[in-house]
């Protein structure tokens, strides 16, 4: 049994896991931001890493997004998107991440004149390189920006159709206030007909959180929910999510930035109630925590047993959009790791 804190952190880092809630644009580290700005002849207001980090003053989702979206202007060419994704995949590999399903926000780029195929071809080549070099698997989930119109989301879905083979599912992110799931019902229905799997953010402690979770589950029929721990306030919805095996991709460190609480107790209560909760990093460069750091943060902020840590890692594979054969192989890998390290 791993006991000391450092042993536990090392155990967590080596534990095979999948990451299911990761925004590629949220992995932009300040050093890479400077390199890309220089490559593309873009002048930045900040000139040191410390100056960039000083702009990370988040107290809620909106204040985070106000810093997050403008930073993306350094991403211009396919090589930039490749470098961003490959840097993340390299970092995740070191954290025991064996499989990752990564969000990207095409509209954050097409809206400033970068072509859809520039974005996706850069991300795709990084995935192929990570598979070749680390044996790691990665998929893309295309998110629509919920503070933009449903028409723009539908047009983006149409633009993505030629790249279907490279996109496993669609999601919904950005500012939830006043932008309920129902706004995108038609877009998600079309995405489903096109064969995409469905997920969407139900961010923490939003206005109408419960109604948004209800719409996602009952009206849209999502396969997963990103965040969504407010479901704990409604027993009937918890039971619905449990009976359907709906996964919740939780992000403790992100939670602590945008709501001042990691929501660890909620995550563990849902785990104990049989909900498929997973631990993820959301926007690791902004919140200073990659996959393993989020597991460690959870264990630091609540009473968590090794068995619960292992259950969370297993959940990450159970909730992944992979074949049954690969899922079984990953679960066996977890069991072997636990057997060798406890």
Tokens 């690969």, residue located: 326
Tokens 């100056």, residue located: 51
What is the per-residue DSSP string for 65-94?
HHHHHHHGGG--SHHHHHHHHHHHHHHHHT
Question: Per rule CB under 6 A, is residue 254 in the interface with ligand ADE?
Answer: yes
Provide the 3-class DSSP secondary structure of residue 21. strand
Choosing from 139, 203, 266, 293, the residue that interacts with ligand ADE (CB under 6 A) is 203
Residues 133-152 that bind ligand ADE (CB under 6 A): none
Per-residue x/- marks for ligand ADE, 24-63, CB under 6 A? --x----------------------------------x--
Binding partner of residue 139 among ligand ADE, Zn ion, none, CB cut-off 5 to 8 Å per kind: none
Element (H, E) at 277: strand 276-279
Output b/e per residue, 261-274; b: 16+ Cβ within 10 A: ebbbebbbbbbeee
Q: Which is nearer to Zn ion, 119 or 141 (CB)?
A: 141
Binding partner of residue 83 among Zn ion, ligand ADE, none, CB cut-off 5 to 8 Å per kind: none
Distance of alpha carbon 50 from alpha carbon 214, whole angstroms: 42
Of 64-72, 107-115, 191-199, 280-288, the window that binds Zn ion (rule: CB under 5 A) is: 280-288
Q: Which is nearer to ligand ADE, 26 or 228 (CB)?
A: 26
Question: Per rule CB under 6 A, is residue 215 in the interface with ligand ADE?
Answer: no
Tokens 């095996």, residue located: 245
Distance of alpha carbon 267 from alpha carbon 251, whole angstroms: 9
Distance of alpha carbon 40 from alpha carbon 233, whole angstroms: 48
Q: Which is nearer to Zn ion, 286 or 317 (CB)?
A: 286
Rounded to a whole number of angstroms, the minimum distance from the CB of residue 162 to ligand ADE is 25
Rounded to a whole number of angstroms, the minimum distance from the CB of residue 172 to ligand ADE is 9
Please compute Rg for the chain using Cα positions. 19
Distance of alpha carbon 245 from alpha carbon 239, whole angstroms: 10
Distance of alpha carbon 90 from alpha carbon 115, whole angstroms: 26
Rounded to a whole number of angstroms, the minimum distance from the CB of residue 198 to Zn ion is 15
Choosing from 107, 137, 174, 294, the residue that interacts with ligand ADE (CB under 6 A) is 174
Rounded to a whole number of angstroms, the minimum distance from the CB of residue 68 to ligand ADE is 6
Rounded to a whole number of angstroms, the minimum distance from the CB of residue 115 to ligand ADE is 21
Distance of alpha carbon 271 from alpha carbon 112, whole angstroms: 41
Distance of alpha carbon 13 from alpha carbon 132, whole angstroms: 22
Tokens 């400077």, residue located: 34
Of 37-45, 54-62, 67-75, 279-287, the window that binds Zn ion (rule: CB under 5 A) is: 279-287
Choosing from 283, 295, 312, 315, the residue that interacts with ligand ADE (CB under 6 A) is 283
Residues 83-122 that bind ligand ADE (CB under 6 A): none
Which residues of this chain interact with ligand ADE, rule CB under 6 A?
A: 23, 26, 61, 173-174, 201, 203, 254, 282-283
Which residues of this chain interact with Zn ion, rule CB under 5 A?
A: 282
């Amino acid at each position: 049994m791993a006991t000391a804190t450092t042993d536990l952190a090392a155990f967590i880092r080596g534990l095979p896991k999948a990451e299911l809630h990761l925004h590629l644009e949220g992995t932009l580290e300040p050093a890479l931001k400077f390199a890309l700005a220089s490559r593309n002849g873009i002048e930045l207001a900040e000139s040191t890493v410390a100056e960039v980090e000083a702009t990370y003053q988040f107290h809620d989702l909106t204040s985070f997004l106000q810093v997050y979206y403008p930073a993306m202007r350094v991403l211009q060419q396919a090589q930039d998107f490749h470098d961003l994704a490959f840097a993340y995949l390299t970092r995740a590999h070191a954290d025991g991440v064996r499989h990752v399903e990564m969000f990207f926000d095409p509209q954050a780029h097409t809206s400033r004149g970068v072509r859809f195929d520039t974005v996706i071809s850069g991300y795709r080549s990084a995935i192929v390189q990570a598979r070749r070099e680390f044996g790691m698997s990665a998929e893309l989930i295309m998110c629509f920006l919920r503070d933009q119109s449903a028409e723009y989301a539908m047009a983006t879905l149409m633009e993505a159709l030629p790249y279907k083979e490279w996109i496993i599912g669609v999601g919904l992110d950005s500012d939830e206030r006043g932008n309920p799931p129902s706004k995108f019902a038609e877009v998600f229905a079309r995405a489903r007909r096109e064969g995409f799997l469905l997920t969407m953010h139900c961010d923490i402690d939003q206005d109408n959180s419960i109604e948004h979770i209800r719409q996602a589950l009952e009206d849209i029929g999502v396969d997963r929910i990103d965040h969504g721990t407010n479901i704990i306030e409604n027993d009937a919805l918890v039971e619905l999510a449990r009976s359907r095996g709906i996964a919740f991709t939780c992000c403790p460190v992100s939670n602590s930035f945008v709501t001042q609480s990691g929501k660890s107790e909620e995550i563990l209560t849902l785990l104990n109630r049989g909900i498929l909760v997973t631990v993820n990093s959301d926007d690791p460069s902004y919140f200073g925590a990659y996959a393993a750091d989020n597991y460690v943060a959870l264990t630091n902020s609540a009473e968590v047993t090794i068995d619960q840590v292992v259950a969370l890692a297993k959940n990450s594979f159970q909730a992944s959009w992979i074949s049954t054969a690969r899922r079984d192989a990953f679960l066996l890998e977890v069991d072997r790791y636990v057997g060798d390290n406890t």
